[in-house]
Structure 1
Amino acid sequence: MDFGVVMRYIPMFFTGIKLTIFISIAAIFIAVIVGLLIYFMKASSIKIGGFHFLRVIAFAFIEIMRGTPLLLQVLIAYVLVGMLPMSSELPSNFAAIIASIAAIGLNSSVYIAEIFRAGIQSIPKGQMEAARSLGLTHLMAMRKVIMPQAIKNILPAIGNEFVADIKGSSMAYVLGIAELTFTAKVVQGATYRGLEPLIVSAVFYLILTFSLGRFVGWTERRMQQDDRY
């Protein structure tokens, strides 16, 4: 193997890293918001004619996201973005980035919803009962009592999901977005080297995920130490 010729394209890989990180951050932001919404829809007691329609919508969404490939979701999102009235005024690359962020974020949101459920249910029921006995509404008790305690269990798990989104962002290459995986394919064509660009791309992914994984682990240990005092 000859990595010398590939090293000349390192600036392209750094550009790909920036786009990979941007897509991942935007996707996890969407995932947290939608995931929290899905959790409350699943926990909702609202009925219309005795029918828990919010729970059914949340259940259907979760099954669709879990039961279909992420790659297919990215392609569907790209087509849907292209059907929007203002899509003709957007640069094609920008539309592809929006579609990738939306697909990866929505796919991740169903797992974030489960993280919220596990984190909130880890808080003893007596906490909610005590808050309600003090006159707080259910929403106020969730915001002021339950969520501040549950966040210590939720944040490390969301960090792990962020790691998964970094790897999932590689699916964006099918839309021609110049993230890490697409950059490796471009360098393959420019250098006629099949393996070396892929290895360089894999090393960068490993550096990103390993560093973030260690940071998540450090954060979790700090939170556990705070609980002891």
Structure 2
Amino acid sequence: MAGTYPDETTVERSTSDGLVTDRRVKWFGVGVAALFTAGVFFLLYWILSDYVDYDLLASIFPRFLDAYVLVLKIVIASSVLSLVGGVMVGLGRVSRTTFTRSIATGYVEFFRGTPLLFQIFIIYLGIPAFWPPGQFPISNWNIPTAVIALSLNHAAYAGEAIKGGIGAVPDGQMEAARSLGMSYIDAMREVVMPQAARNALAALGNDQVILVKDTSLLTVIAVPEIMSVFRNVNSNQFDAWTPIVLVAVAYLAITLPLGKLVRYLEGRAEWGETDA
């Protein structure tokens, strides 16, 4: 009959003579996943049992804890500043004023088009060069450099996420708000931006996870963060795997809760809700 479709049994029977069927592909995927998982657990067991010095692990733990707390402070400050800056950049990217839009675009192109390490060196070495030697007013400049560089860099990515979120809001939303007598600013604040924030939530959350991992670059300017402690321990003890365990735990202790928070916010915003 026209408009009818074969059921699953018919489709399975029609492909039963071939080597590739849906069921075989399914179980092949399950087998590969199981082998991979078993391999990972075996590797972890092997490393933890044969290559980790637990006495050394206990002795260096306080140093990694201090580094973890420092990284957490830098991440919190940089995340807040990058999100605030990202909203400003995103609004600039969709501005109806050509000059504002051009400035925001130039900002995004520079900070996305140059390495973060390069930007760190510009701030860490370039800004003090404006003062005569030895007269730069900030003695401990590496921590402010870390926050400024991470904030400026990730504000560009957050701005693009906000721009994409605004672009995903139907034009009719703005038109409906304006037809009700709302100004452009009020319509953006009350109607467009709440929807844009929901649309951009996944991209913003992913960028904040990347920000956490980008703190590893701060070792080049002598910030006593997690990777700096790892390098010091490894160079002094000639033991790589023992501090690596703490490095992994420290980063995952930030990124896993952050990912869970993003998923929670997505659920509260009914992310991915489809029309009935």
Q: Deviations over 1:24-78 (max 9, x none)?
A: 11112221122222222222222xxxxx332222222222212211111111111
Query: 1:39-188, aligned counterparts within 5 Å?
Result: 39-46=90-97, 52-83=98-129, 88-92=136-140, 95-188=141-234
- Which stretches in structure 1 are left out of the alignment for 5+ residues? 47-51
Q: CA deviation at 1:14?
A: 0.9
2:65 to 14, 24, 37: 14
CA contact (8 A) 1:6 1:187 kept: no
TM-score by length of 1: 0.86
CA pair 153-43 structure 1, distance change in 2 beyond 3 A: closer
- DSSP 3-state at the match of 1:9: helix
- DSSP 3-state at the match of 1:74: helix
Greater RCO (CA < 8 Å, at least 6 residues apart): 1
Q: Deviations over 1:76-121 (max 9, x none)?
A: 11123424669733232xx111111111111111111111112222
CA contact (8 A) 1:16 1:183 kept: yes
Q: CA deviation at 1:186?
A: 2.0
Work out the percentage of aligned pairs sharing the same amino acid: 32
Question: Which one is further off, 79-88 or 174-183?
Answer: 79-88
TM-score by length of 2: 0.73
The higher radius of gyration belongs to: 2
- DSSP 3-state at the match of 2:92: helix
Tell me the C-alpha RMSD between the 2 structures.
2.4
The number of residues matched between the two structures is 222
